[in-house]
Chains A and B, each alone.
Chain A
Amino acid sequence: MDLNFSKEDLDFQSEVREFLDKEYPKHIKEKMDNGDDLTRDEIVEWHKVVAKKGWMGHSWPVEHGGTGWDATKKYIYLRELAMEGCPMFIPFGLQMVAPVIWTFGSQKQKDYFLPRILNFDDWWCQGYSEPGSGSDLASLKCKAEKDGDEYVINGQKTWTTLGQHADWIFVLVRTDDSGKKQEGITFILVDMKTPGVSVKPIITIDGDHEVNEVWFDNVRVPAENVVGEPGQGWTYAKFLLFHERTSIAGAPQLRRGLRGLVKRAEKIFHNDSPLSEDPFFKSKVAQIELDLSALEMTELRGLAAEREGKGPGAESSLLKIKGTELQQRLTSLALEAAGHEALPFGGPYGFKDQEVSSSKAAQLTAAKYLNFRKVTIYGGTNEIQKNIIAKAVLGL
């Protein structure tokens, strides 16, 4: 066992750094470092920069245009991007629907969609949850009926992240309700421009419009857009969720976030000495740091297992739980550190034109803390993840 990077790994690290140095668009970097929201165009621009370099498929097999990197390289790559504060990759195409398509899709689907995903020509979103089907996803009701060589979809999806920007949505629909609830679910790809698809914003407690309801009103979709076998969607859905969960632990982002907080704390005064010298604060930072080290190693073990062809399994639930808990501890500590300076709130209410003296970084801590309440809920709540571990790992 060797935890040191090889010469080759170090060279690769330099290559990634050089790429970021040269190609990471300055105007995007500035906004990211400032905590400003990117526009749709800017997010697309960033993805295209990476695509041009050929590094979008960091977790894809070579035959579909992936980089074929080993676990260490992938780890280095993602860490460098995160430490530089680059925008997160929109995962719905790249990390979620793509593995489903290359594993279960038709040749035509692979040929059409995979290169477009790799090039970020299409923005994908996810049609999984419904108002009555969250944790109990298999109880979903959104219905698709076969009519000739088309399916007609009627129903509603919810919590669709960035659906307002999307070109395509992958949807779990019920094509048969005669058997068990897990049976009769079909995985289908829908062009968001199809007549009858509408997107309605959901405003969250941080005042943001990130998630949406997506409504289907007699939406006609070619039957060839079904992935795999009709009625087998539940298998594909679960396969996808394992992929989703490994990508949301976010250890490198945590590392960067913690570093930023510690730095800011040097200039924060709750009492007479800087917060960075406060023993209570230091103890909290140290505890996060320790957990973070364990999380990073767990992530690395996951990547190694994946590389050996074991694929992400129920262990991804562990990463999801531990990673999201840490994210919440960090955002909560940042809010606490910002103290009174966190009170002025842009959000839905704020007086947006008023300049108050507290720094933007401090003001953003509240929105970020509130936004991060979602992480222990999305991708399957942490309670559901514990059920999965109990059942699939511990055999209980």
Chain B
Amino acid sequence: MNLNFSDEQNLLRDSVSRFCTSDYDFETRMKSVNSDSGFSKEHWKLFADLGWLAVPFDEELGGLGGDVLDLSILFEEFGKSIVVEPYLANVVLAGGVLKRSGFDKKDEYLSSIVSGEKQFSLANYEPEKGYNLENIETVLDDKGLLNGSKSTVLNAPNADYFIVFSKKGGDFCFSLVSKDAAGLTLKSYKTYDGFMSGELTFENCKPEVIIQEKDALNNLEEVMKDAIVCISAEAVGAMEKCYRLTIEYTQQREQFGSPLSKFQALQHRMVDMFMETEYTKSFLLKVLATEDRDEKTKLIYGLKNQISKSGKLVGEEAVQLHGGMGVTEEMSVGHYLKRLMVIANIFGSADFYLQKYINS
């Protein structure tokens, strides 16, 4: 048993951590959030230059050949600064599907993710269809035309290409749709934690190419498991930042002639936040260290349940202990809560995954 990270992994953590602490303060983040694209193109270029966009991809693509463990290192650091750049959408979701597909030109598209030249979105969920991945209606018909609609398409307003999950014949498939395709309509919005997202409608829309026709659902399931681990790691980072911000704030905020941090009732609350964070980090590491595929899958469902509860608890406590200031837009702590609540409920709630855990 080895609970240590490799030298490469430590280097990656240091490099991401350095960027987040020195170049990604809260004001910088909010500038990105409030911009039209919802992220900073300079940061994105930097991510590409530093090789971060290549982490999970093959070495021929300039990648590190990394897996979800490497991604989780990066996401935990991102979580501490609630980085809003569309890493999840491009690299983990769209890139993850491409990587696992048998598509013969996938390297060409993956290269454009790695270089940061092109933006991608994965479109699999549908309006009011819930979280079961196979519960979709969008169809790629015999004439090769897509019809249907997609929601929660993260990064959609920025995407050059959409990777669309649909039915085809009696099976599922992935196809690649250009943003300029005829018959495609995009509705853009920002999510309440400041990320870009959108809805797509396809009316006899012709994809550029079919990426995968066999085992597409299986591919999607694997990708979503990676995504859950990534946002869980992000949540752990955000939770850590939450209790640290709270300690800092209560140490400097004085009421009744003494710093708030001196009140025992509040100290215990911060201890609970700390314990919850460490406990969740342990769960995450347990998932990462598990090799048996079925066992790992079950634990990932459990992780999503755990992260939804603990992220909510720590985020809410952080806001509460900041008092009135905690609910203001100008303070960062409320934005951590927003991100943690989105993580808690995206791709399925705590209850949804508890049910999956029980049934698997």
Query: Chain A: residues with CB nearer than 8 A to chain B?
Result: 129, 132-136, 139, 158-159, 202-205, 207, 267-272, 278, 280-281, 328, 332, 335-336, 339-345, 347-351, 354-358, 366-367, 369-370, 373-374, 376-378, 381, 383, 386
Check A373/B33 contact, CB under 8 A, given A270-B130, A341-B127: no
With A205-B334, A340-B152: A377-B189 Cβ-Cβ less than 8 Å: no
- The interface residues of chain A lying within 8 Å CB-to-CB of B131 are 270-271, 339-340
Which of B127, B256, B323, B334: most chain A CB closer than 10 A? B323
Interface members, chain B 5-38 (any A CB < 8 Å): 33-34
Q: What is the distance, in angstroms, from B201's C-beta to the closest C-beta of chain A?
A: 9
Whether B329 and A340, one on each chain, are in contact in the complex, defined by CB atoms closer than 8 angstroms, is no
From A129, A349, A355, residue with most partner B Cβ within 10 Å: A349
Contact B189 A136 (CB under 8 A): no
Q: Once bound together, how far apart are the Cα atoms of A378 and B340, in whole Å?
A: 23
B170 at the interface (CB under 8 A from A): no
Q: What would 13 more interface pairs be, CB under 8 Å, given A335-B345, A343-B342?
A: A205-B319, A270-B349, A271-B355, A336-B345, A343-B152, A345-B190, A349-B34, A349-B190, A356-B199, A366-B192, A373-B327, A374-B327, A383-B266
Q: Which 6 A-B pairs have the closest CB atoms?
A: A205-B334, A136-B255, A345-B192, A280-B351, A344-B189, A366-B192
> Would you call A205 and B190 a contact (CB within 8 A)?
no
Q: Which residues of B contact A205 (CB under 8 A)?
A: 319, 327-329, 334-335, 337-338
Q: Which of B192, B194, B324, B354 has the most CB of A within 10 A?
A: B192
CB pair A343 B327 closer than 8 Å? no
> For the complex, is B262 an interface residue (Cβ under 8 Å from A)?
no
- We find that the number of chain B residues with CB closer than 8 angstroms to chain A is 55
Query: Is B129 at the interface (CB under 8 A from chain A)?
Result: yes
User: Considering the complex, which residues of chain B in the window 174-196 have a beta carbon less than 8 Å from any beta carbon of chain A?
Assistant: 187-192, 194
Would you list 8 pairs from A and B whose C-beta atoms are within 8 A, ordered by A residue? A134-B255, A270-B349, A336-B349, A336-B351, A339-B348, A344-B190, A356-B151, A383-B265
Nearest A residue (CB) for B127: A357
Is B330 interfacial (CB-CB < 8 Å)?
Answer: yes
- Residue in chain B with minimal CB distance to A340: B152
- For B188, the chain A residues whose CB sits under 8 A away are 351, 354
Q: Are B328 and A343 in contact (CB under 8 A)?
A: no
Binding site for A on B (CB under 8 A): 33-34, 125, 127-132, 135, 149, 151-152, 187-192, 194, 197, 199, 254-257, 265-266, 312, 316, 319-320, 323-324, 326-330, 334-335, 337-338, 341-342, 344-346, 348-352, 354-355
Query: Which residues of chain B are within 8 angstroms of A383 by Cβ–Cβ distance?
Result: 265-266
Given the interface pairs A343-B346, A351-B189, A377-B324, the reply to whether A357 lies near B125 with Cβ below 8 Å is no
Specify which chain B residues have a CB less than 8 angstroms from the CB of A344 in the assembled complex: 189-191, 197
Given contacts A354-B187, A374-B327, whether A280 and B355 have CB atoms under 8 Å apart is: yes
Cβ contacts under 8 Å, A342 to chain B:
192, 345
- Which of A139, A340, A347 is the one whose CB lies under 8 Å from B125? A340
Set of chain A residues within 8 Å of B348, measured between Cβ atoms: 270, 339
A336-B349, A343-B342, A358-B151 known; A271 vs B192 contact (CB < 8 Å):
no
Say yes or no: A278 contacts B351, CB within 8 Å.
yes
The answer for the CA separation of A129 and B255 in the assembled complex, in Å, is 12
Q: How far is the CA of A340 from the CA of B116 in the complex (A)?
A: 28
Please state if B352 and A270 are interface contacts (CB–CB under 8 Å): yes
A328→B337 CA distance, assembly (Å): 14
Task: Tell me the smallest distance from the CB of B267 to a CB of chain A, in Å.
Answer: 12
Q: Which residues of B contact A343 (CB under 8 A)?
A: 152, 189, 191-192, 197, 342, 346
**In the bound complex, how far is the Cα of B327 from the Cα of A367, in angstroms?**
12
A1–B189 Cα distance when bound, in Å, is: 56
CB contact under 8 A between A202 and B328, given known A354-B187, A357-B149: yes
Report the minimum CB–CB distance from B207 to chain A (whole Å).
Answer: 22
Task: Determine the distance from Cα of A354 to Cα of B350 in the docked complex, in whole angstroms.
Answer: 30
* Partner among B189, B327, B346 whose Cβ is within 8 Å of the Cβ of A345: B189
Point out the residue from B34, B187, B344 that lies within 8 Å of A355, measured CB to CB: B187
In whole angstroms, how far apart are the Cα atoms of A202 and B324 in the complex?
A: 11
In the complex, residue of chain B having the shortest beta-carbon distance to the beta carbon of A328: B316
Chain B hits for A271, CB < 8 A = 130-132, 135, 352, 355
Tell me which residues across on chain A come within 8 A of B189, comparing CB atoms: 343-345, 350-351, 354, 356
Q: A339-B349, A354-B187, A373-B337 given as contacts; is B255 within 8 A of A207 (CB)?
A: no
In the bound complex, how far is the Cα of B232 from the Cα of A101, in angstroms?
54
Interface contact A369-B191, CB-CB below 8 Å: no
Q: Is the CB–CB distance between B33 and A349 below 8 Å? A: yes
Chain B residues near A354 (CB-CB < 8 A): 187-189
- In the bound assembly, the distance between CA atoms of A136 and B323 in angstroms comes to 12
* In contact, A357 and B337 (Cβ under 8 angstroms): no
Contacts of B320 in A (CB 8 A): 373, 376-377, 381
**Distance between B191 CB and nearest chain A CB, rounded to angstroms:** 4
**Shortest Cβ gap from B262 to chain A (Å):** 13
Distance between Cα atoms of A41 and B266 in the complex (Å)? 42
List of B residues within 8 angstroms of A158 by Cβ: 324
* Residues in A whose Cβ lies below 8 Å from that of B127: 341, 357-358
Which residue of chain A is the closest to B335 with respect to CB atoms? A205
